[in-house]
């Protein structure tokens, strides 16, 4: 005859294992979506994984020349990116109609939007008329 004690010990162990697995999956997806790379002083960041990581270009601090090095970014697009700063996320390039969706798709893995201001101050700055 099986004892109830054995059954009650198995449930918390299974629950803990599922929780750890869910946190690992959610943490990996969250880190990939938010661009969890840290910025270097030169305005570029490097991703955490990969054999030979290419530097990410920070759209909030990169020069126009550095932005023009990206595929599909000409002088006019670089000027629009610089004029629209600061960006809360890199997707703001499309939502604020700075770049067409196709160009954004070609550069989205090469860019990051690093925040220098706390989020509330950045939001207030975006809401202010230009």
Digit-coded pLDDT (tens) for 67-112: 999 999 999 999 999 999 999 999 999 999 999 999 999 999 999 9
CATH code, domain with 64: 1.10.150.320
Percent of the chain whose pLDDT exceeds 70: 50
In the chain, the number of structural domains is: 2
User: Is the overall model pTM greater than 0.75, yes or no?
Assistant: no
Length of the chain in residues, anyone?
130
Residues 73 and 12 in one domain: no
Separation of alpha carbons 108 and 100, rounded Å: 12
* Pick from 15-24, 37-46, 57-66, 81-90: least confident: 37-46
Residues 116 and 52 in one domain: yes
The closest of 25, 35, 33 to 60, measured between CA atoms, is 35
Range of the domain at 5: 1-34
On the question of pLDDT at 39 being above 70, the answer is no
């Amino acid at each position: 005859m099986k004892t109830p004690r054995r059954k009650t010990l198995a449930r918390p162990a299974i629950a803990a294992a599922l929780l750890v697995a869910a946190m690992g999956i959610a943490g990996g997806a969250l880190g990939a979506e938010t661009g969890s790379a840290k910025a270097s002083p030169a305005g570029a960041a490097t991703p955490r994984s990969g054999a030979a990581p290419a530097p990410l270009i920070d759209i909030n601090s990169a020069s126009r020349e550095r932005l023009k090095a990206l595929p599909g970014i000409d002088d006019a697009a670089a000027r629009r990116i610089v004029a629209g700063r600061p960006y809360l996320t890199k997707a703001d390039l499309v939502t604020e109609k700075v770049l067409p969706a196709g160009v954004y798709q070609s550069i989205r893995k090469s860019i990051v939007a690093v925040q220098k201001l706390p989020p509330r101050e950045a939001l207030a700055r975006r809401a202010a008329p230009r």
